[in-house]
Amino acid sequence: MITGLINANPVVYEKKRSVDFELHQLVFSSSETVYGQPEKIPCIEDFQLMAMNPYGRTKLFLEEIARDIERVDSEWRMILLRYFNPVGAHESGKLGEDPKGIPNNLMPYIQQVAVGRLPELNVYGHDYPTADGSAVRDYIHVMDLADGHIAALRKLFTTENIGCTAYNLGTGRGTSVLEMVATFEKASGKKIPIKLCPRRAGDATAVYASTEKAEKELGWKAKYGIEEMCRDQWKWASQNPWGYQSQP
């Protein structure tokens, strides 16, 4: 029996292929982005879903395809894991994220400012209806995320009638962009210069997870807070300022 774990790549469902490989169990890496601009927070798994940007639509489409497959072929067992915002690195400082080019995401960008590769962080949006005006997300340590996958696989292997079920992988805590910058500055001892910029198109105001379903059904709960996320991200960055490359 093969269990598939796939990320952003589209999955093409081919009956013949699934029979050849006996692939009928799948963990899909979905994303909090499928909640779009939620009317209420925390986000609960049975909320109505929507896409606010092209990336979000890929995740939404793939979730829908997974649900369609399960509806027509009950042999399938699928878990859709909705990652919130994964950050941090392995605590050894040897494994971390190394995006190509200028990073799109907040933490890799902050990290590159801290090591001197970029001059300042553009903070997209300072007029959101949040405590400090910057957008709020649910950041989750990558090691917690990894444990969440193990819990999901256990659930998949032991639950005959799981069907196609979604779980949030988040901490349940919302943190603003400016709070994240301040926490990283503390963890690294580096000043992160910021420039307040207009909102980025396609961004939601505030998104964080309800963790109840994952806690109850997967027996999984995030252990780390933003201090540990920033500590481990900085360990990786300070030991590997140019990621896996030597300095160009």
Ligand X SMILES: O=c1ccn([C@@H]2O[C@H](COP(=O)(O)OP(=O)(O)O[C@H]3O[C@H](CO)[C@@H](O)[C@H](O)[C@H]3O)[C@@H](O)[C@H]2O)c(=O)[nH]1
74 touching ligand X, by CB under 6 A:
no
Q: C-alpha distances in angstroms, 234 versus 14, 27, 158, 243?
A: 43, 30, 38, 12
Q: Could you tell me which stretch among 25-33, 64-72, 155-163, 226-234 binds ligand X (CB under 6 A)?
A: 25-33
**Distance from C-alpha of 27 to C-alpha of 80, rounded to nearest angstrom:** 6
Q: Strand 139-141 vs strand 85-87: parallel, antiparallel, or unpaired?
A: parallel
Among 24, 28, 29, 32, binds ligand X (CB under 6 A): 32
Q: Could you tell me which stretch among 60-68, 78-86, 88-96, 164-172 binds ligand X (CB under 6 A)?
A: 78-86
Query: Whose CA is closest to 88, among 239, 193, 208, 227?
Result: 227
- Whether residue 156 contacts residue 24, with contact meaning beta carbons closer than 8 Å, is answered with no
203 touching ligand X, by CB under 6 A:
yes
**Distance from C-alpha of 198 to C-alpha of 176, rounded to nearest angstrom:** 16
97 touching ligand X, by CB under 6 A:
no
Which DSSP string do the residues of 53-94 spell out, in sequence order? Answer: SHHHHHHHHHHHHHHHHHHH-TT-EEEEEEE-EEE---TTSS
Among 17, 154, 200, 223, binds ligand X (CB under 6 A): 200
**Residue 174 CB, nearest approach to ligand X (Å):** 11
Span 217-236, contacts to ligand X by CB under 6 A: none
* Residue 55 bears catalytic tag: yes
Largest CA-CA distance found in the chain, in angstroms, rounded: 56
143 touching ligand X, by CB under 6 A:
no
Number of residues located near ligand X, criterion CB under 6 A: 21
177 touching ligand X, by CB under 6 A:
yes
Residues annotated catalytic, as ranges: 55
Binding site for ligand X (CB under 6 A): 31-33, 55, 83, 85-86, 104-106, 109, 121-125, 135, 137, 177, 200, 203
